[in-house]
Structure 1
């Protein structure tokens, strides 16, 4: 990779455990923390659909033994990244993207590691990258998509608040803006006008920012149908809970829509 492209990158420190060599043009990056058997079940489900993409785990600090080489190596994982620096989801994303770009991947498909998403869409995301799309958003709410047991408050929040605000800020219509099943092209991630490798992206900011920034800069954007299934009984699998967590999401959403995370202009740099 051209070292000049990495100038100014802010990436959390992390460890790298490579289990086999790079084999593919694209990679699937799975963001996890203490997902246990849910991750292993998802990796098993993914295997029929990852023949032409490498699988990378971007771990946020799991302590349950679920991401050891012995646990995930037999399930087809190429690399396990272990974040040791500060930050949460967006820091994991910066870590995963940085590694993928340094490894020469032409695109990154992202998916959560809690076994809610149907991995059969992975080849369609890779095809969209082949066709020149730069930001591919998975949606359970378009024809062909499936939303099963979606919590009522989550459904209302997406439909009435989250998707309309990001659609308004970006200038394109999105229907499922909290869905982490996405894909990004290399040219989008390395563009200095995007500048995703900044410490300001620590929690949920980067998901929202990239969805807004891509169409603003004229990158090609598309939604693809995906299936997301919540369990019919028991606790909802989510890292966002309580009043404080939901307030943080709402505040981050508003700040992203007000373009608070855009990189500084040249004039601001000189000032």
Structure 2
């Protein structure tokens, strides 16, 4: 299948290790995560028999994504972004490739080894049931959080989740969590149009969460675990700056900044 010519997709370098084998894939955005992504892939390799694994690399320079290692862990392909943009750009890149390959559903999970990748079968189950957007949450019954930074927890529970829930018309509990699943039908909806350059940092995560229920798609939250390491949390963005960015994106959602021009 060809990528839609109207889609704005970052330039990337593709290396495929094996052909498509399953109807769903898991996309892992990552950049310079070192041992964390390697540990995650070792855990995730147990599920290579039921789902295809795709790496969405933002341009790692730490040697953690050695091709021989990726192949040994059952990774199907790695896409290396050769363009501007951060997380949302990586996701656009991965979504476009996955849809062009004919996948019926796409799961996403961060590449920092904080998430319960063992929950992958739960996402597959929900996609098989016909769900269109599945949000993993540590705050629903059965979910679990370990060492969540206090400022992050306050921001999620008191600001981000309540505010986004109002915009979406659906009660979310863990809106910054990148462990999610999306149906092909939802991502291909002309009213969504996720393949636009306006999505560069974290905008696409909030936009998709808001749009799924508003467009009438089937949405559900399922329990997952997210564990932060003890002590000082390694991060590529300061907590204050990160939370301010998330709030800025929420205001953008409220005022329709990310809506397609036709709306």
Name the TM-score, length of structure 1 as normaliser: 0.94
Of residues 70, 81, 98, the one that matches 2:79 is: 81
Post-superposition offset of 1:70: 1.9
| Alpha-carbon contact 1:114-1:237 (below 8 Å) kept | no
* Number of positions where the alignment pairs a residue of Structure 1 with one of Structure 2: 263
1:102-132 alpha-carbon deviations (Å, 9 max, x no partner): 1110010000000000111101101111111
Q: How does 1:1-271 map onto structure 2 within 5 Å?
A: 1=1, 6-233=4-231, 235-241=232-238, 243-265=240-262
1:213-260 alpha-carbon deviations (Å, 9 max, x no partner): 010000110001000001122x31433315433322221122123332
Distance 2:161 2:142 in 1: 19
Post-superposition offset of 1:46: 1.2
**SS at 2:195 equivalent:** coil
CA RMSD in angstroms comes to 1.3
1:150-204 alpha-carbon deviations (Å, 9 max, x no partner): 0111100000000001100000000000000000000111111000000000000
Q: Following TM superposition, where does structure 1 have runs of at least 4 consecutive aligned residues deviating by more than 6 angstroms?
A: none
Task: List alignment gaps of at least 5 residues for structure 2.
Answer: none
| Alpha-carbon contact 2:155-2:243 (below 8 Å) kept | no
Distance 1:184 1:259 in 2: 22
| Alpha-carbon contact 1:125-1:183 (below 8 Å) kept | yes
1:86-109 alpha-carbon deviations (Å, 9 max, x no partner): 100000000000000011100100
| Change in 2 beyond 3 A, CA 1:237/1:112 | farther
Distance 2:173 2:197 in 1: 28
Post-superposition offset of 1:6: 1.4
Post-superposition offset of 1:75: 1.2
Distance 2:116 2:191 in 1: 33
| Change in 2 beyond 3 A, CA 1:254/1:239 | farther
Task: List alignment gaps of at least 5 residues for structure 1.
Answer: 267-271
**SS at 2:221 equivalent:** strand
